[in-house]
């Protein structure tokens, strides 16, 4: 009985100390005044009971002013002109009208084979990217990898791979590996690696580390404890990210052909070059159906995961 009450007392004391500390801290925080509030003094409202309250000035006018300046500079730099769009809007319907009346006969004749190429390219690219993404994400997560330099190097590498668009990868790899689906696959794999690893290490850092530490205390190696304690936690997120990337890659691989990386994009660029926009409409419809099917498939898998 006595032990219990002693514990309770310690608990209560600790809680009290925390509250006091927070209040002192809060006072410190309140004393910090941002530059904005120093320039534009807060409005002081005196209440009926004699207390006064500071009401900070609205930041909206300042933000609006900055935004307007940015828009003005942007309009100057790009030569944006709304009048041109209104005057020449009828030109917009020329190509759109042709795309909206697709040439259905074109689909069985020529679309199926490059479509399969595109799907193959994005599937293999996604599998390679996601497969490499898992170990790299583990190295890049600060709660598993305690070695700071290797962590920073891997993160820098990921940041760089993510920031270069897939199209530019494809352009450079098409020059290195000669034109074709191989260059496109490598480009997709590299880009996927960047995205998957980033999303994954962010979620690895939020997992419950209790089981992992328990495994370590039993004497398990880092790999064993990660595999047993962390994998079950991140596996659903990992699969979800992979499916998201597959969807993204099928969409983007349709464009990769523009720079000669094979698949549907090659066909699209050929047909737009010849100005056969009815054919382009047919290609887009098949692409749309494929993306839609992948969407349904990944929704199904996700519903099974949760």
DSSP E strands in the chain: the ranges are: 43-46, 52-55
Give me the least distance between CB of 47 and other proteins, in Å please.
21
Verify binding: residue 40, other proteins, rule CB under 8 A.
no
76 versus 148: smaller Cβ distance to other proteins: 76
Give me the least distance between CB of 12 and other proteins, in Å please.
29
DSSP string covering 137-171? HHHT-TTT---HHHHHHHHHHHHHHHHS-HHHHHH
50 versus 273: smaller Cβ distance to other proteins: 273
Compute how many other C-beta atoms are within 10 angstroms of the C-beta atom of residue 216. Answer: 16
139 versus 158: smaller Cβ distance to other proteins: 158
Among 37, 95, 209, 247, which residue interacts with other proteins (rule: CB under 8 A)? 95
Of 130-189, which residues contact other proteins (CB under 8 A)?
A: 159-160, 162-165, 167-168, 171-172, 175-178, 180-182, 185
Asked if 306 and 243 touch (Cβ cutoff 8 Å), the reply is no
CA distances from 91 to 96, 270, 272 (A): 9, 22, 16
* Residue 100 tokens, joined: 């909206």
Among 17, 116, 214, 296, which residue interacts with other proteins (rule: CB under 8 A)? 116
Chain centroid to Cα 210, Å, comes to: 28
Among 65, 85, 109, 231, which residue interacts with other proteins (rule: CB under 8 A)? 85
Verify binding: residue 290, other proteins, rule CB under 8 A.
no
15 versus 97: smaller Cβ distance to other proteins: 97
- Which residues touch 129 (CB under 8 Å, ≥6 apart)? 188, 189, 190, 191, 192, 193, 196, 245
Asked if 196 and 241 touch (Cβ cutoff 8 Å), the reply is yes
Q: Which residues bind other proteins (CB under 8 A)?
A: 70-71, 73-75, 77-81, 84-85, 88-89, 91-92, 94-96, 99, 116-117, 119-121, 123-124, 127, 159-160, 162-165, 167-168, 171-172, 175-178, 180-182, 185, 251, 254-255, 258-259, 268, 272, 280, 284, 287-288
């Amino acid at each position: 009985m006595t032990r219990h009450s002693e514990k309770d007392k310690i608990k209560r004391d600790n809680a009290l100390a925390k509250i006091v500390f927070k209040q002192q801290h809060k006072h410190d925080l309140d004393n910090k005044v941002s530059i904005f509030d120093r320039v534009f003094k807060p409005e002081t409202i005196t209440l009926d009971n004699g207390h006064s309250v500071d009401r900070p000035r609205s930041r909206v006018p300042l933000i609006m002013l900055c935004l307007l300046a940015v828009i003005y500079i942007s309009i100057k730099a790009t030569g944006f002109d709304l009048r041109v769009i209104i005057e020449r809007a009828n030109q917009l319907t020329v190509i759109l009208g042709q795309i909206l009346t697709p040439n259905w006969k074109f689909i069985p004749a020529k679309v199926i084979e490059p479509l399969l190429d595109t799907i193959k390219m994005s599937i293999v690219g996604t599998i390679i990217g996601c497969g490499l993404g898992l170990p790299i994400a583990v190295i890049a997560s600060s709660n598993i990898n305690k070695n700071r330099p290797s962590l920073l190097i891997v993160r820098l590498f990921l940041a760089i791979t993510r920031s270069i668009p897939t199209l530019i990868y494809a352009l450079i790899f098409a020059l290195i590996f000669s034109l074709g689906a191989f260059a496109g696959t490598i480009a997709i794999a590299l880009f996927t690696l960047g995205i998957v690893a980033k999303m994954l290490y962010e979620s690895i850092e939020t997992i419950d580390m209790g089981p992992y530490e328990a495994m370590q205390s039993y004497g398990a190696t880092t790999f064993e404890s990660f595999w047993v304690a962390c994998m079950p936690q991140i596996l659903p997120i990992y699969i979800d990210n992979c499916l998201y990337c597959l969807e993204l890659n099928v969409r983007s691989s349709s464009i990769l052909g523009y720079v000669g990386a094979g698949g549907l994009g090659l066909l699209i660029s050929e047909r737009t070059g010849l100005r056969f926009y009815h054919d382009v409409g047919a290609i887009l419809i098949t692409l749309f159906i494929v993306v839609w099917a992948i969407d349904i498939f990944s929704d199904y898998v996700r519903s099974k995961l949760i």
